[in-house]
Amino acid sequence: MSLLPYAVAAWLFGVGLYGIATSRNYIHLIGCLSVCQSATYVLLLGIGYRFDAIAPIFYDHPPGTPAVDPVMQALVLTDIVVGATLTALLLVLALQVYKRTGTLDPERLRPMRGTRAPGPRPRSTDRPPTKRAAPPAARS
């Protein structure tokens, strides 16, 4: 058993994580997230790899011949599809952020979070008024 796939997966994950931590652009951040996810492909393929094994769909080999685990291959394929979908969704969200704000820098977008203009708070129209009206005058 070789430790090379595990080392490559750890290196890919570390490079992607470093890129996420130091990114100043949402497009770069999404690319680094994809690199982190590619580390899972390498890790799953490293777990499912067997030396001198064949694909499990061949019937002309005698019983007892070692075969690779098809579950790991299915997991990698599922991981690739989920990763592509997530990347596409995040790129569309980044495009919407750019259209609305004109920037993809997370530091420039930070002041937008939870801030409001100074001054009195606007009154909400869906709340009942806090003061009750005076009761009507008694009739005589």
pLDDT of residue 140: 56
Residues of the chain with pLDDT > 90, as a percent, come to 41
Helices (H), the chain: 4-22, 26-48, 70-101, 106-109
Which residue from 87, 115, 96, 105 is spatially nearest to 23, judged by alpha carbons?
A: 105
What does the alpha-carbon distance between residue 50 and residue 69 come to, in Å, rounded to a whole number?
Answer: 8
pLDDT digit string, tens, across residues 79-102: 999 999 999 999 999 999 999 888
Q: Please state the domain extents for the chain.
A: 4-54+67-110
How big is the CA angle at 32 (ends 94 and 111), to the nearest 5 degrees? 45
CATH number of the structural domain 4-54+67-110: 1.10.287.3510
DSSP 54: B
pTM: 0.68
